[in-house]
């Protein structure tokens, strides 16, 4: 696995990307309030011709063999870290399906559905 940097400083790797990795963390404010977070970091194949040519230094017409890191996070005042990790893993899995809907579309749907549910309950 070869790691390079694009002109913007974004890391990229050539070859088979590593498996997704999950992280959880807790941050504490001065007043003792806690904020919990879960993240999933995964590597996404670079398909943008301009980015590919900057990284590889060759014509962007060749198939992409480069990937760059991407991260999605859930941050909350509630410490449901295992549930957050499961939700993020599911979002990642959905973004990798045959439909190839962008990850942002799945996040948008999740946020709008949660907003509607909360509005309905209140």
pLDDT at 10: 62
Residue-number span of the structural domain to which 105 is assigned = 2-121
pLDDT at 115: 56
Residue 100's alpha-carbon distances to 1, 18, 105, 117, 118, in angstroms, are 26, 20, 10, 26, 29
pLDDT at 1: 46
Q: Cβ–Cβ contacts within 10 Å for residue 67, how many?
A: 20
CA pair distance 55, 98, nearest whole angstrom: 27
Q: Report mean pLDDT in 10-residue bins for the chain, 122 residues.
A: 51 79 92 93 80 66 72 88 88 77 76 61 48
Q: Could you give the number of structural domains in the chain?
A: 1
pLDDT at 57: 65
Does an H or E element contain 12, and which? Answer: strand 11-14
């Amino acid at each position: 696995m070869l790691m390079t940097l694009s002109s913007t400083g974004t890391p990229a790797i050539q070859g088979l990307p590593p498996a997704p990795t999950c992280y959880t963390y807790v941050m504490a404010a001065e007043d003792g309030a806690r904020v919990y977070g879960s993240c999933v970091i995964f590597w996404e194949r670079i398909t943008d011709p301009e980015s590919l040519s900057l990284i590889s230094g060759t014509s962007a017409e060749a198939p992409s063999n480069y990937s760059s890191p991407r991260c999605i996070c859930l941050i909350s005042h509630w410490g449901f870290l295992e549930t957050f990790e499961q939700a993020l893993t599911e979002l990642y899995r959905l973004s990798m399906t045959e439909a190839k809907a962008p990850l942002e579309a799945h996040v948008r749907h999740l946020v709008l559905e949660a907003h509607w549910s909360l509005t309905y309950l209140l």
